[in-house]
Amino acid sequence: MTVKPRGQSWQASVSYKGTRYRKDFATKKEAEIWKLETLVAFKSGRNPFEETAKAVPTLREHVAAVAKVHWGPMKSATKAIQTATNTINILGPDRLVDTLRPADIDVVKLHFQDRGRSPKTANRHLATLSKLVDYAVRYGYLKTGFKSGITRETQGRMRYFSEDEITEMLDYCDGAGDELLKDYILVSLDTGFRQGEVMKILVKDIGRDNIWTFDTKNGKNREVPLTARAKEILRRRIIGLGRNDRVLPPTASWIADHWGEMRKTLGHGGEKDYVPHVLRHTFCTRLLECGVDIKTVQELAGHDNLTTTQKYAKSSPDRKIRAIEALSRAS
């Protein structure tokens, strides 16, 4: 139960049976009087507010409430809640939810624009703001919602490793005697596993002709057939290991160190997108270049949304050339 300054006014708040009531006043004295009168009314068993009155939470409290019912059950709950917290910190976490306005969209946009952050980062926070607004309407704190003003993101070409780049990597591994890095690269190329999935491969996950993983992004099990090359590598690696032992690089730091040394030696140190995850991009692109239908590529990659897979269809300009050549031969 407090009276505190809020901008140019004073805000008084009281709690009664788990509900918090707030009201702003021009002077501290008015706020103190309202607080005392309200407490007296509550103690006498009378609620001075209308039955339909609803206590308005702060943005911080609203995030906590929405987190329980919306983000909490998600696999990415921690990241989503942190994004929501960052968003309200920009707007002011102690603001009341019913003060949200369309102008807040520009506040968030300008915040990231002034700091040189990408539209993708801004959009992630704007999407969070949109969700907070939706729930504010649902709970009756706002009469109407408003669009979040997502910024259009430019879609560049999906990066993938060319055959020459892959050969360069493998030659480096042979020359450096780094067999484990070479095996990591080849298994990634032939399974399309994310880095975290490759690191979690256990002996028991490897079947006669396939391998399965618990998808680290969408939370589902995924089974992928093994190429002859991947079979040879994994069967060689499991010799002497127990059923629950890991097969390939044990830590992300190991991969970062060995990959970083390779990238530097090969002259790619200045390329931001010369990273292990591009091995997964290359897996998808290769499948499409081989004529595999996009739905099958989606299933092998474990993409929830076909739109994600379609990005890889734009990867190689050679695919268009081959398609037209095939059309010419059929004509």
Q: Would residue 18 be called left, alpha or beta, if left means φ above 0 and alpha means ψ between -120 and 50 degrees?
A: left
Phi then psi for 139, rounded to 5 degrees? -90, 0
Token pair belonging to 170: 């493998």
Torsion over CA of 289, 293, 294 and 295, rounded to 10 degrees?
A: -150
Task: Spell out the residues 6+ positions from residue 210 whose beta carbon is closer than 8 angstroms to its own.
Answer: 223, 224, 225, 226
Average confidence (pLDDT) per 10 residues, the chain, 331 residues: 79 82 82 81 71 72 89 81 92 89 87 80 89 90 81 64 94 96 95 88 88 64 88 92 86 90 92 89 88 88 80 66 68 60
Structure confidence at residue 157 (pLDDT): 58
- Residue 221 · residue 212 · CB < 8 Å: yes
Structure confidence at residue 51 (pLDDT): 42
Token pair belonging to 291: 């004529």
Instruction: Judge if pTM exceeds 0.85.
Output: no
Phi then psi for 214, rounded to 5 degrees? -90, 110
Sign of the Cα torsion 288, 291, 294, 299 reads negative
Element housing 122 (H / E)? helix 119-138
What is d(CA 70, CA 65) in angstroms, rounded to the nearest whole number? 9
Structure confidence at residue 239 (pLDDT): 92
How many CB atoms sit inside 10 A of residue 90's CB? 15
Burial letters 218-254, b for 16+ CB under 10 A, else e: eeeebebebeeebbebbeebbeeeeeeebbbbeeeee
Helix ranges, 46-118 (H): 59-66, 77-91, 103-114
Structure confidence at residue 235 (pLDDT): 92
